Amino acid sequence: MKLLIVQRVLKLKTMKKLIKYEVMALLLVFGFITSCNKAETDTNTMSNLKASLVSEYYTNARYNAFAEKAEKEGYFQIAKLFKALSVAESVHARNFKQVLDLAGVRTEKHVPDYIVESTEKNLQSAIEEEVMDIDSIDPGYIEQSFNSQIKQANDVFTFVWEAEKTHKNLLVFIYDLLMTNEVKENGVTVASAPSKASLSNIEDLFLKTNYYVCPMDGRVYDTSNIAEKCSICLTPKSKFIVIH
């Protein structure tokens, strides 16, 4: 009987050791997989940061060129909007570069080629680019950077995403007036041009509206919706960059 008890005790100890080893092995495997996932997340996030920096350099230069084109065509209010957006994109570029600098990554300024057409077509092109960023590119970058070890990556992607919504809204407002003679929200007309829509009518409609750029996250306001502080980063209005 004693022998049987001893055998059972030994068997139990052996089983406990086996379980212990199995648990340790599972933990090692889990740790390895987690480490690989983090490494992959960081690699993807780093690539996204680099791509975003180049994109911001490109958009900054393109909006500057669009502003010059609008001025040449006599659309000074629209030129002012493009200047404000260009400043906002330079803020984004600075923020992406700072995150890369903190990660020890050296970067060089590179501006891909861009096309400048008529102001009307430039407006349409700008809207298409902003919509693509807001709906497709930025959400993917935000999701991939959520568990990244790269400090501030998720924050800067999120700030840019929120700021670009304001860019799109301002561009769409002008373009809607240009193409349809009215601006609608939920099917209800909220603003109309005084006569047949055209770029020249928009100049009068805006009554020389100023634009305000948050220097921290690149959100853009106009005179009608300027707030006491940025709704994203809470930077006070007194620090906004005024485009007039």
Contact 157, 145 (CB under 8 A): yes
Rounded CA-CA distance 216/242 in Å is: 14
Nearest to 218 by CA among 50, 127, 96, 119: 96
Record the tokens describing residue 123, joined without a space: 């407006």
Element holding 83 (H helix, E strand): helix 76-102
Cross-strand pairs, 241: 213
Under CATH, what is the fold of the domain 2-207?
Ferritin (1.20.1260)
For residue 135, what is the DSSP state? Answer: I
Nearest to 23 by CA among 35, 11, 31: 31
Per-residue pLDDT for the chain (244 aa), expressed as one digit of tens each?
Answer: 444 444 444 444 555 444 444 434 433 333 433 343 455 568 889 999 999 999 999 999 999 999 999 999 888 888 999 999 999 999 999 999 999 999 888 888 888 898 999 988 999 999 999 999 999 999 999 999 988 888 899 999 999 999 999 999 999 888 877 666 555 555 565 555 444 445 666 666 666 688 999 999 999 998 888 889 998 889 999 999 999 8
pTM for the whole structure: 0.76
Residue 72 confidence (pLDDT): 93
Record the tokens describing residue 102, joined without a space: 């903190």
Residue 122 confidence (pLDDT): 94
Residue 173 confidence (pLDDT): 84
Nearest to 59 by CA among 6, 137, 142: 137
Query: In sequence order, what are the residues at sequence separation of 6 or more whose Cβ sits closer than 8 angstroms to the Cβ of residue 77?
Result: 202, 203, 206, 208, 209
Q: How many residues in the chain? A: 244
Please give the radius of gyration of the chain, using alpha carbons only, rounded to the nearest integer. Answer: 27
182 three-class SS: strand
Rounded CA-CA distance 243/83 in Å is: 7
Domain positions in the chain: 2-207
Residue 231 confidence (pLDDT): 86
Q: Phi, psi at residue 234, to the nearest 5°? A: 70, 20
